[in-house]
Amino acid sequence: MPVSVYTGSPLHPLFALAKELEARGLGAAVDTSISVVDAYVLDPDGGDSARLRGCPFAFRRAVLRADAHSARPWWWLLWPGQRFEREIAEPEMTRLLPVEEYADLARRIASILAATPTPPPRDD
């Protein structure tokens, strides 16, 4: 049974998720103003990971929002929109896990990012 992390500061789960992501070798950026954690692939060459964060497939955004029915906080995963030949698919959010299951969410995000392509290395 997971220990609840939502007993103190409402910001604690955001930083707990970021720490779990970093423990799995990913970069993490917390934006407390909108209750999100961005997870991104680090540059394997040790350089600036900003170019990877700009790639829609090299990062995922975890959003902490209340469930509409229970008002209990849940983690949602934002899937990036995609461009197709004749249309653009809007981003969508999927409800995943209750707030206290941040370690499992970090594992899932790491698995998703490990299975997605990253941009080719730069020539400079």
In Å, how far are 11, 15, 47, 72, 98 from 56, measured between CA atoms? Answer: 26, 23, 19, 29, 25
For the stretch 9-41, pLDDT in tens is 667 999 999 999 999 999 999 999 999 999 988
Q: How much is the pLDDT for 3?
A: 40
H or E element that contains 14: helix 12-23
Q: How much is the pLDDT for 85?
A: 66
Q: How much is the pLDDT for 62?
A: 94
Instruction: Tell me how far apart the alpha carbons of residues 80 and 77 are, in angstroms, rounded to a whole number.
Output: 10
pLDDT of 43 above 50 = yes
Nearest residue to 63 via CA among 41, 84, 94, 89:
94
Please answer whether residues 62 and 13 qualify as being in contact, where contact means their C-beta atoms are separated by less than 8 angstroms: no
Q: How much is the pLDDT for 109?
A: 94
Q: Which of the listed ranges 2-6, 19-23, 57-61 does the model predict with the highest average pLDDT?
A: 19-23
Domain definitions of the chain by residue range: 12-81+88-114
pLDDT of 119 above 60 = no
